[in-house]
Structure 1
Amino acid sequence: MTEIRLWFTDFWDGFNIEDNYFINLLAKYYRVVLTKKQPDYLIFSWRGKDFYNYKNCIRIFYTGENLRPDFTICDYSISFDYDSYNGRNLRLPLYVMYGDMNELLLEKNVNTILKEKTKFCNFIYSNNNAKERKFFFQLLSKYKKIDSGGKVLNNIGFKVDNKREFIKKYKFTISFENSSFLGYTTEKIIDPMIVNSLPIYWGNPKIYTDFNVKSFVNIHDFDCIEDAISKIIKIDKDEELYAKYLVQPFFKNNELNKYVKEDNIIKFFNKIFNLKSISRLYYTIEVNIKISIIIPVYNTGNYIEPCLDSVINQEFSDYEIICINDGSTDNSRELLEKYAEKFRNLIIINQDNQGLGKARNEGLINAKGKYIVFLDSDDLLLPGMLKETYCHAEKLELDVLAFNFTESTDEIGLPKVFPYENQVVNGIFYFTQYYIHNKDFPLSASPMYLYNRHFLKINKLEFKPNLLHEDEHFFIRLILHTDKMSLLNKTLYYYRRSNLNSITNNISLKNSIDLNYISRELYHYLRYNNCKEALLYRKISQLYFASVMYAIEGKYFDPKFKIFTKEDLRIVKLCTYNFTSFFYSTLFTYNIKFFNIIVIKKRPYILSKLVTLVFKLIYLLRFKLFNTTPNNYNEK
């Protein structure tokens, strides 16, 4: 057997270096020598910084938490992430560490299981910061009492020691992750499966890649939480329906998924250990990079050169440029490579076309600067931008710094009215005061801000992939998290609207669908975070209205498009703030065919006028008589 010299560091308390998942797996195929002084391979986690002391070995980062690999400090990674990062990352979900997955392939005796289930539902958690599952607990508790045996919301008088033994008696187990992110699947779903308690799962939106979704209640399958609870109540009352879930295999076709198969996991290690020479891939030279400029590029060969020149010509030197070529089919890649030959601080990352959000996320993963600037590849940084924003952010120790833009290289953008521009404020205060003084919402466009990279990382702020208008989704979440924001009231960015080939300039049905999705997601995000700021809900109403207008513009009146749901209608009613938004959004969501007749064709004319009048009366009653929206924000 081939010898490998290996060590572990920066793992959690109680991690056994000599007896763990990796040692037990690798020992089947290699002669493993544990050596702390001069290992050839280091597997490290996120609990410390001891890994920095190992400079002459291959570093393999491991995390079972909702963290992304940082390839500036490691060669390879083992994480929850679906992305292979060109073969450098292995997706190994955390649940693999919590038992033999073959146990889940065993045949189930449904009659025996039914006899064991004497109680309704349980909830066992120690992390008090996950608002989503506490919110769900409270809603489902309105139906029946849920026994909580952990530190959070404990109502049984003691803390459960043996979790699996405890939940074995329950029909249902609330199996919510700490957060929802693609690929992030932990033991939360495995524990109830092993003892045949039906999981009520929320977390990984693609949980279907791990398990058979017919074997548990998947919250992601429902339009809203209320619909999911209605389904759970129905299952609870119908023993035959409950049994249909129990009889289902946990894995599709009762076969282990590819992520837990030993052959696939050892194949990843074989690739690393079979390298002819041990060479490091991560950056070995410590550099003082102050700003990382992230530039997604897609078919902008006519613009990329002046864009890069606008960065290179800045009177500022401590920066890096990260260009993500998002599958360009023109000469963009050749032009990037020409610049990279001249400028060592320009990094090119090539990927298949995956959209603006994925491209920006890739840039964030590889960024090393203290601050982040997003620059669209057909736009320009104006002179002094990097120096002025960096100095201002450093002086005030900011998380986020806003600045102005112009759509003409010959004109200065209009200054914003913001009395607190040289002060540090939190995000919600910035959002509301900006609106009050400018009668408009602050820009959501990501390039109009400078970001502290550490702030983005600790708050897990990144872009939702495969979405148009991803900036809207990113910006509202950012506003909720930042306590250190300010405005530099200077024009420092040139925004070009005319490029038809850019990533963002794509008009289609997807505009309407994605804006609708973003509106719904943000509404629930605000509720989960107990946000009561009316203007943020007004922003959601604006996004819904924009979704409707895209549908109108594209004439997507056929119900087959299924753009809106009943939940959207409910949210529209809660969030709308002026009559036009209320009328269009509600009518379009309620009945597209009727909307087409009344609003678009306006016939018969008398009926159109009558419907408009009725909606006007409803609007006045809702927003005046019942004072749904704070008076100081009312618009007519």
Structure 2
Amino acid sequence: MSLKNLIKNAIADYKRFRKDQRKYSNDNIRYYNFWALPNSDASWFTQFIKHRNINPNGKKITFLSVVGNPKISNFIRSPKIFFTGENIENQEHPSFIFKKYHLKNHDLSLGFSYLDDKKYLRFPLWILYIIPSNASFEDIKSLIDSYNDPKHRHNNNRENFCANISRADNNGIRKTIIDLLVPIETVKCAGSFLKNTNDLQEKFGDNKIEYLKTFRFNICPENSNTKGYVTEKLFEAIIAGSIPIYWGSHNRPDPKIINQDAVLFFDPENPQLLFDKVNLLWKDKNAYEEFCRLKPFTDHAAEVIWEWLNILEEKVKSVI
């Protein structure tokens, strides 16, 4: 391509950037290509940096994500930090186009993958959903202990069988699991996908956690199966005290954090295993109560999460 065309394309990209940008500012911390700001995941980073006094001199920091054009980063000065809430390893997902940019165009990259690069930190999306940005180690330990308490999972309000809350089913896994379990009892679908109830909206004001607290099981698979790709879905089930029915991350989601024995995994090669387990836990009170005594988090989960936060602090300081 000629220099003239390169310049022409760069100018066109910049014009699109100025027109379509999703920019939100909070003091000296800016966000591009993020979603649903300012009261969303992005504000977590702002509060984290403020709480830990990571940026005492007020240097401008830019966070970029995957809702938009990856070339936006070409027009932004450092320090630039990339964060993805989507699986950029999935070739079928629109965010895949960010894969070749996130390490090259940014000073620090945060995501799901297990990459060995000094500019990268594995920092999965679910942390932003369950860990407050200003949490101390004691706070994190207290949260984990509360979710590990058998009483959190086993209570008398769980009169409903199984819930699925989703907008779509791109790979067909959700429908497969739902069809598998329907012979046991009706699966309540409260999202736009296969919707058969309005209770989430009408009775619970769209509060997903409170809604799930009335169910024993929650179908919460990922949209794609990639090692390390673990989103908030599994953790929302745990926070609500529902038993997660999960598929994703090669059915080994964050093994240093999640007690794999406390999750029901769907194996497409042997769906009968899941059917038999769910059927048993639904119909056998003793089996259900015994399962509820399993801790969903490992004994060292709080320590692992705390280390993650400390490494994030050091990484952000290094790019500033």
1:89 corresponds to which of 98, 111, 120: 120
Partners of 1:193 and 1:24 lie apart in 2 by 25
1:168 aligned partner: 213
1:59 aligned partner: 80
Gaps of 5+ in 1: 279-636
For the structure 1 residues 268 and 196, does the alpha-carbon distance in structure 2 shift closer, same or farther, using more than 3 Å as the test? closer
Partners of 1:264 and 1:130 lie apart in 2 by 31
1:273 aligned partner: 317
Partners of 2:276 and 2:245 lie apart in 1 by 13
Letter matched to residue 217 of structure 1: L
Contact 1:105 1:250 in 2 (8 A): no
Partners of 1:213 and 1:193 lie apart in 2 by 12
Q: Does 1:21 align with 2:44?
A: yes
| RMSD (Å), alpha carbons | 2.9
1:264 aligned partner: 308
Partners of 2:259 and 2:41 lie apart in 1 by 34
Partners of 2:153 and 2:245 lie apart in 1 by 21
Contact 1:123 1:173 in 2 (8 A): yes
Q: Aligned to 1:240, what secondary structure does the other structure show?
A: helix
Q: Does 1:131 align with 2:172?
A: yes
TM-score calculated relative to the size of structure 1: 0.38
Partners of 1:140 and 1:162 lie apart in 2 by 24
Report 1:131-530 matches (<5 A): 131-157=172-198, 160=201, 161-205=206-250, 206-207=252-253, 208-219=255-266, 224-253=270-299, 255-256=301-302, 258=304, 260-261=305-306, 263-274=307-318
Contact 1:104 1:194 in 2 (8 A): no
1:171 is displaced (CA, Å) by: 0.9
For the structure 1 residues 264 and 123, does the alpha-carbon distance in structure 2 shift closer, same or farther, using more than 3 Å as the test? closer
For the structure 1 residues 152 and 72, does the alpha-carbon distance in structure 2 shift closer, same or farther, using more than 3 Å as the test? same
1:202 is displaced (CA, Å) by: 0.9
Partners of 1:165 and 1:158 lie apart in 2 by 11
1:195 is displaced (CA, Å) by: 1.9
Partners of 1:252 and 1:214 lie apart in 2 by 10
Partners of 1:18 and 1:216 lie apart in 2 by 26
1:177 is displaced (CA, Å) by: 1.1
2:32 aligned partner: 9
1:486 aligned partner: none
1:44 aligned partner: 64
Letter matched to residue 314 of structure 2: N
1:28 is displaced (CA, Å) by: 2.6
1:108 is displaced (CA, Å) by: 2.3
Letter matched to residue 65 of structure 1: E
Contact 1:147 1:155 in 2 (8 A): yes
Partners of 2:220 and 2:188 lie apart in 1 by 14
Partners of 1:185 and 1:82 lie apart in 2 by 12
1:90 is displaced (CA, Å) by: 1.1
1:52 is displaced (CA, Å) by: 2.6
1:34 is displaced (CA, Å) by: 10
Indicate the larger mover: 109-118 or 57-66. Answer: 109-118
Letter matched to residue 75 of structure 2: N
Letter matched to residue 260 of structure 2: V
For the structure 1 residues 132 and 34, does the alpha-carbon distance in structure 2 shift closer, same or farther, using more than 3 Å as the test? farther
Partners of 1:28 and 1:168 lie apart in 2 by 32
Contact 2:257 2:297 in 1 (8 A): yes
1:104 corresponds to which of 144, 155, 162: 144
Contact 2:66 2:86 in 1 (8 A): no
Contact 1:122 1:146 in 2 (8 A): yes
Letter matched to residue 52 of structure 1: N
Partners of 2:169 and 2:85 lie apart in 1 by 19
For the structure 1 residues 173 and 270, does the alpha-carbon distance in structure 2 shift closer, same or farther, using more than 3 Å as the test? same
1:392 aligned partner: none
Contact 2:108 2:315 in 1 (8 A): no
1:211 is displaced (CA, Å) by: 0.2
Partners of 2:248 and 2:291 lie apart in 1 by 20
Contact 1:9 1:45 in 2 (8 A): yes
TM-score calculated relative to the size of structure 2: 0.73
Q: Does 1:122 align with 2:166?
A: no
1:152 is displaced (CA, Å) by: 0.4
Contact 1:172 1:198 in 2 (8 A): yes
Partners of 1:153 and 1:113 lie apart in 2 by 28
Contact 2:125 2:230 in 1 (8 A): yes
Partners of 2:34 and 2:242 lie apart in 1 by 31
Report 1:601-620 matches (<5 A): none
Contact 2:262 2:291 in 1 (8 A): yes
Partners of 1:115 and 1:240 lie apart in 2 by 14
Gaps of 5+ in 2: 1-26, 90-98, 132-139
2:112 aligned partner: 80
Partners of 1:87 and 1:228 lie apart in 2 by 40
Cα deviation code 1:437-476 (max 9, x no counterpart): xxxxxxxxxxxxxxxxxxxxxxxxxxxxxxxxxxxxxxxx
For the structure 1 residues 26 and 237, does the alpha-carbon distance in structure 2 shift closer, same or farther, using more than 3 Å as the test? same
Cα deviation code 1:320-346 (max 9, x no counterpart): xxxxxxxxxxxxxxxxxxxxxxxxxxx
Instruction: Give the length in aligned residue pairs.
Output: 265
Partners of 2:73 and 2:31 lie apart in 1 by 9
1:158 is displaced (CA, Å) by: 5.8
For the structure 1 residues 12 and 193, does the alpha-carbon distance in structure 2 shift closer, same or farther, using more than 3 Å as the test? same
- Percent of aligned pairs sharing the same letter: 23
1:290 aligned partner: none
